[in-house]
Amino acid sequence: MLTFKNRTALVTGAGRGIGKAIAETLAGQGVTVVCVSKSADSCGAVAAAITAAGGKAKALAVDVADGAAVAKAAEQLLAEFPAIDILVNNAGITRDGLLFRMSAEDWDSVIATNLSSCFHWTKHLARPMTRARWGRIVNMASVSGIMGNAGQANYSAAKAGMIGLTKTLAREFASRSITVNAVAPGFIKTDMTTEFVNNAEVSAKILEAVPLRRFGEAADIANLTAFLCSEEAGYITGQVFSVDGGMAM
């Protein structure tokens, strides 16, 4: 067991995939988890399952791309909890396409959901962390933000932006004992990757670039994230951890 002292966490994109695994893993460590997703049904189902298993969780349906909605949700949460001690910015979407075929809407929606949401949540939830002189922020980047990926100019730019944001906030918040780190998943088996994971020809080609020759599991990301949110990770900040089977080494 990792060490958590009556902590409350907010996990965005918690209705499925990596976010769901992170929410469940933190709850299993005794953390109270606010499960956020755009869909009330999906985050509600995750929160209900955590509660049924003996954990503490609540659901909150928010479109993280809407800065005003995030500000309102944060205000409501801080009226209910003294602080959100742990923030995991995991929500993300893809709108893939080569640059010349990418619409401005596809660019804007990915930047807003994947990158701007991190700015809004952090801005509205980090101040109580600074007063408490304790906090953990983990931003879910991607190997695409490190290496780039053809057909994902919007996604790669957003994830690279998250890495820059992570390193800057780590410097800004360090004096208040708030750590800020990023996790960069590679090819993880989730709903987002089902299409190529289940295609034998496509998956074989992808795995040629993965030294471990397999796709990762959501638990691989959740376990590292939980560690970075714990007391044990108090001397780690401003770092980007690739969990990619060796792709970006």
Q: Which two tokens stand for residue 144?
A: 């695409």
Q: Which residues pair with 10 in a beta bridge?
A: 34, 87
Phi, psi values for residue 75, rounded to 5°:
-60, -45
First to last CA, the chain: 29
CB atoms within 10 A of CB 187: 20
Q: Where are the beta strands (DSSP E) in the chain?
A: 8-12, 32-37, 57-61, 86-89, 135-140, 178-185, 240-243
Cα dist from 13 to 91, 117, 164, 222, 224, whole Å: 4, 11, 21, 13, 17
The SS3 assignment for 239 reads: coil
- For the question of residue 235 being annotated catalytic, the response is no
**C-alpha–C-alpha distance, residues 26 and 9, integer Å:** 8
The SS3 assignment for 27 reads: helix
Contact present, 47 and 59 (Cβ < 8 Å): yes
Among 155, 173, 187, 241, the one annotated catalytic: 155
Catalytic residues: 155
